[in-house]
Amino acid sequence: MFKNIEKIRQLLSQNYPKVNVELVERAYNFAEMAHQDNKRFSGEPQINHSVNTALHLAEWKLPINFVVAGLLHDVPEYTKYTIADIETNFSRDVAKMVEGEMKLDSLRYRGEKKYAENLRQMFISVADDVRIIFIKFADRIDNLKSLSFLPENKQKRLAIESLEIYAPIANRLGMDVIRQQLEDLSFKYVYPEDYEKTLNLVKNVYATKEGYLEKIRKIVSKDLVKGGIRVAEIHSRKKGLYGVYKKLAARNWNPNNIYDIFASRIIVESESDCYSALGILHHRWKPVKGRIKDYISQPKPNGYQSLHTTVFCEDGKTVEFQIRTKTMHEEDEYGLASHWFYREQGEGQENKKKHIAWLREFSKIQKEIKEKTKFFENIDSLKTDIFQKRIFVFTPKGDIINLPENATPVDFAYAIHTELGHKYARAKVNDELVSDDYKLLSGDKVEIIIERSRKKPDPAWLKSIKTRKARMMIKEKI
Ligand code: MN
């Protein structure tokens, strides 16, 4: 087995040929000294977790300071050394990242009621310095890998949070590799039965398709070379189990209705090679109608670019092909992270252009994250059992109130304050007057108009309210 430091050295020499490893080794030694005999839940030394976190950051080819921060990320929380010690021994920049990660880490789950608030705070922290989300992703992926050692309630919380919050953010930032790892590691803890069901259904597909695609790869490779395409690589990619599950659930649980459980990926040198390769494929095999997608001229909202086509391949089986350039491929796998990498790789004209484009995209994402803190549109994607029957609405000041589904403005008033309920006269939802039995929806902004002279609540409210609190208070008063 490799020693920790050997693993780090090896990955650095592979992914960071120009970087001086001395800084990273110093960080490793500091972390090891600081954590001493600290152990994880699994009984493993704590330092292994720091190393795994740093290794993920290095796999994603982020700037070297991320790797350093990854090694040190748990030092202030679990040892006697502080953020200030890290600043003195390393740099302000590294200390800032560690501090941001620690703050994010302290947003512990405080029960369902505080959930939305946590989420909001998280968006704010990330908007403040988007870099910490990468450290958090790396940290979380390693924690998910040792989830089986945690108590059951903790398992479920971490898994839900990873699946419902972290993975969608990774998706939004266009980091496919990270999204898929977060999803697949949490899936079995969040939906154990669906996980088993999905696994059983696709087992056969996995077993048969891999060999078949190898056969196809050889044919394609020959055709492309003959056609003068500069091919960098052809490989098959397996769709993540959670991604398969979502499609299965939407398509009668029939794996034959899903074309991309496996896809064949063709990576070429230039954009025009992409289109030529598509032509060559269609010349040999007939495309399936409606399955040709040009995400190169029309990228997905998260920036994803590729040509997709599904063809009736050898033996009449369907195969999805994804054709892209090397750059598109890197960006698909690592999204924003890949841009950071280019930025460190030198100052060529091409890199400069990319960096500017990236800065623009980055500020757009920041703005969107900030907007989410206000409107919380994302909340609709919270489809897990625990949250399914809850809605999140806003006070005029932007505070979030968590209510059961179909709750009314009266429930809202009582949730804020008993007196506000008792004096309730009317309500405005999104600035428009609504009836007392109006069913609130997630994201609604609710304003209560009171009647100071009101002595008693209206018994009619009892017919439509949903919360126990409002019911108790009204009954007590009438
Ligand atoms: Mn950690």
Q: What is the Å distance from ligand 1's center to 57 Cα?
A: 13
Q: How many CB atoms lie within 10 A of CB 248?
A: 20
Q: What does the block give as tokens for 196?
A: 């088993």
Q: What is the Å distance from ligand 1's center to 136 Cα?
A: 8
Low-confidence ranges of the chain (pLDDT < 70): 1-2, 105-130, 172-173, 302, 335-390, 398-400, 442-443
pLDDT (0 to 100) of residue 379:
39
Q: What is the Å distance from ligand 1's center to 73 Cα?
A: 6
Q: What is the Å distance from ligand 1's center to 49 Cα?
A: 7
Q: What is the Å distance from ligand 1's center to 170 Cα?
A: 18
Q: What is the Å distance from ligand 1's center to 183 Cα?
A: 19
pLDDT (0 to 100) of residue 382:
36
Q: What is the Å distance from ligand 1's center to 97 Cα?
A: 13
Instruction: Note the pLDDT tens digit of each residue in 278-328.
Output: 999 999 999 999 999 999 999 887 678 999 999 999 988 899 999 999 989
pLDDT (0 to 100) of residue 153:
79
pLDDT (0 to 100) of residue 56:
95
Q: What is the Å distance from ligand 1's center to 31 Cα?
A: 12
Please report the DSSP string for 297-364 in residue order.
Answer: TS--TT----EEEEEE-GGG-EEEEEEEEHHHHHHHHHTHHHHHHHHHT---HHHHHHHHHHHHHHHH
Q: What is the Å distance from ligand 1's center to 447 Cα?
A: 41
Q: What is the Å distance from ligand 1's center to 359 Cα?
A: 29
Burial class (CB in 10 A: 0-12, 13-18, 19+), 283: exposed
Q: What is the Å distance from ligand 1's center to 27 Cα?
A: 15
Q: What is the Å distance from ligand 1's center to 238 Cα?
A: 29
Q: What is the Å distance from ligand 1's center to 50 Cα?
A: 7
Q: What does the block give as tokens for 370?
A: 């900030």
Q: What is the Å distance from ligand 1's center to 137 Cα?
A: 10
Q: Which residues contact 48 (CB under 8 A, 6 or more apart)?
A: 4, 40
Q: What is the Å distance from ligand 1's center to 77 Cα?
A: 9
Q: What is the Å distance from ligand 1's center to 150 Cα?
A: 14
Q: What is the Å distance from ligand 1's center to 374 Cα?
A: 29
Residues whose beta carbons lie less than 5 angstroms from ion ligand 1 = 74, 139
Please report the DSSP string for 131-171 in residue order.
Answer: HHHHHHHHHHHHHHHTGGGS-HHHHHHHHHHIIIIIHHHHH
pLDDT (0 to 100) of residue 120:
56
Nearest to 158 by CA among 176, 170, 146, 171: 146
Nearest to 65 by CA among 12, 24, 10: 24
